[in-house]
Amino acid sequence: ATPVSIMVGTGRAAQLGVLFRRGEALQTLAGVKTVAFDKTGTLTQGKPVLTDLVALNGAGDDLLRLAAAVETQSEHPLAQAILAAAAGQGLALPEASGFAATPGHGAEAMVEGRLVQVGAARLLAGVDLSALLPQAEALARQGRTPVYVAIDGKAAGLIAVADAVKPSSRAAVAALRRMGVAVAMVTGDAQAVADAIAADLGIAQVHAEVLPGGKVAVVQGMGPGVAFVGDGINDAPALAAADVGIAVGTGTDVAIEAAEVVLIGGDPMAVATAIRVSRASMANIR
């Protein structure tokens, strides 16, 4: 592409809410065959809210109080949902010590002399979750993410959170498919939750329960000609590894720095717009 056509193309894209941090990405994006989206914060709002609370032998308030005490030190969107619910119920949170978070798994800390663990089933390897599984699976099929709570190594209950899809996500998937681009979802969330949301959005290719380090391999396995769209700190390696990294402008600075293209308003439809502008710019040159 000539420098002038790149200038015109990136200028046009900017008017439409797409920032090309590197002009060459205009050319690469025109040839993209697959767009892989992160789920949380990219296709969904990234603002999960608590929807269900299941406490085994005990009070739900106590479960929420202990889980929230752990999550005060976490920056994960799920943690924010748990904290907001505890605040909404006016719960006073006890001190937590020895906090540790494992990306893609969950978090744990000592609260009132007990080890409280909050997170995905894989954080709780060795804890018998069988009493919670039927409810967890039913919630997951509705697209709600089950977050397990264990106290001193025993299942105590679960908290379900739901994160609404962005208003344009479904239309963005349809637009990309009409343009002949394959669409995939890559997420750390549970398979059943990912499947439910993907079905709602019309996405057939789903990679769920992918640990933060695993997104790179999944994205590379889709190439060549793959663009990855993400918002989180844990998306940065996959954004760098994709042929084109596209960051959600409302996401983390780390993701934006790793990407070549930024969706300024965070609208997934802008991915289709970006590809359309890229194709038009390249066609002008030929």
Which residues carry out catalysis?
38
Q: Which stretch binds Mg ion (CB under 5 A): 59-67, 136-144, 223-231, 239-247?
A: 223-231
Residue 250, both tokens: 């409302």
Q: Which stretch binds ligand ADP (CB under 6 A): 164-172, 173-181, 183-191, 247-255?
A: 183-191
What would you measure as the largest C-alpha separation in the chain, in angstroms?
70
Pairing outcome for strands 182-186 and 154-162 = unpaired
Residue 68's binding partner out of ligand ADP, Mg ion, none, with CB under 5 to 8 Å set by partner kind? none
Q: Whole-number minimum distance, CB 42 to ligand ADP, in Å? A: 8
- The identity of residue 179, as a single letter, is M
Q: Which residues contact 270 (CB under 8 A, 6 or more apart)?
A: 16, 17, 18, 263, 264
Could you say whether residue 232 binds ligand ADP (CB under 6 A)? yes
Residues forming a β-bridge with 53: 159
For the beta sheet containing 261-263, the strands, ordered from the edge strand earlier in sequence to the opposite edge, are: 18-20, 261-263, 244-248, 226-230, 34-38, 182-186, 205-207
Which residues 14-73 are close enough to bind ligand ADP by CB under 6 A?
Answer: 38-40, 71
Residue 74's binding partner out of ligand ADP, Mg ion, none, with CB under 5 to 8 Å set by partner kind? ligand ADP
Which residues 236-275 are close enough to bind ligand ADP by CB under 6 A?
Answer: none
Among 108, 189, 260, 267, binds ligand ADP (CB under 6 A): 189
Could you say whether residue 166 binds ligand ADP (CB under 6 A)? no
Among 9, 119, 157, 249, binds ligand ADP (CB under 6 A): 119
Could you say whether residue 40 binds Mg ion (CB under 5 A)? yes
Q: Among all chains, which residue has been given the structure tokens 């009409």?
A: 178
Please, which residue, 38 or 243, has the CB nearer to Mg ion? 38
Pairing outcome for strands 114-119 and 226-230 = unpaired
Question: How many residues of this chain interact with Mg ion, rule: CB under 5 A?
Answer: 5
Among 30, 36, 38, 124, binds Mg ion (CB under 5 A): 38
180: left (phi over 0), alpha (psi -120 to 50) or beta: left
Could you say whether residue 145 binds ligand ADP (CB under 6 A)? yes
Identify whether the C-beta of residue 161 lies closer than 8 Å to the C-beta of residue 49: yes
Reported as type and span, the H/E element at residue 195 is helix 191-201
Binding mask 62-101 for ligand ADP (x = CB under 6 A): ---------x--x-x-xx---------------------x
Pairing outcome for strands 182-186 and 96-102 = unpaired
Residues forming a β-bridge with 36: 184, 228
Reported as type and span, the H/E element at residue 25 is helix 25-30
Residues forming contacts to Mg ion in the complex (CB under 5 A) are 38, 40-41, 231-232
Residues forming contacts to ligand ADP in the complex (CB under 6 A) are 38-40, 71, 74, 76, 78-79, 101, 104-107, 118-120, 145, 147, 187-189, 212, 232, 234
